[in-house]
Amino acid sequence: MARLLAIGLVAGVFSALFGVGGGIVIVPLLVSLAGFDGRRATGTSLAAIGITAGAGALFYGLHGDLKVGSAALIGLPAALGAVGGVALQQRLQTRTLTIGFSLLLTAVGIRLLV
């Protein structure tokens, strides 16, 4: 139980500092520290992020930093995409996609860095 709370604590800092869910932190920690298999770690991570992201949006909202219209513009299509993505995960060879995603992140990361 202490391990799960600690995983959450670390993930919460990452989530709020970078505006992301924190799955990249939670999934490997659930596997390495709590003995989860990959798929169950992914599903459990998503459910936990519901709380993490909700708390982050609330705290930032109290500072007046939320742009609700922009969030809806991106977030509602994303919800449709997420349902499709989970269905694909059950039957797709994801290696090629993973490499493509990695390259995309690298390109955007470099763009933001300079």
Partner 1 sequence: MEILAALLGLLGGVLSGLFGVGGGILFVPTLVLVLGLTQVHAEATSLLAILPAVLAGAWRQQRYGNVDGRAALLVGLGSIAGVAGGVELAKALPEDVLRRLFAVFMLVVAATLAWRAFHPKPAYSSKRDAA
Binders of partner 1 in range 16-35 (CB under 8 A): 16-24, 26-28, 30-32, 34
What number of chain residues touch partner 1 (CB under 8 A)?
Answer: 99
To partner 1, the closest distance from the beta carbon of 1 in angstroms equals: 6
To partner 1, the closest distance from the beta carbon of 64 in angstroms equals: 9
Binders of partner 1 in range 37-66 (CB under 8 A): 37-57, 59-61, 63, 65-66
Neighbours of 36 (CB within 10 A): 19
Q: Is residue 23 a contact partner of residue 46, using CB atoms and an 8 Å limit?
A: yes
Interatomic CA distance for residues 72 and 88, integer angstroms: 24
Binders of partner 1 in range 64-103 (CB under 8 A): 65-68, 70-95, 97-99, 101-103
To partner 1, the closest distance from the beta carbon of 50 in angstroms equals: 5
Q: Is the dihedral of CA 58, 63, 68, 71 positive or negative?
A: negative
Nearest one of 15, 39, 18, 16 to 27, comparing CA atoms:
39
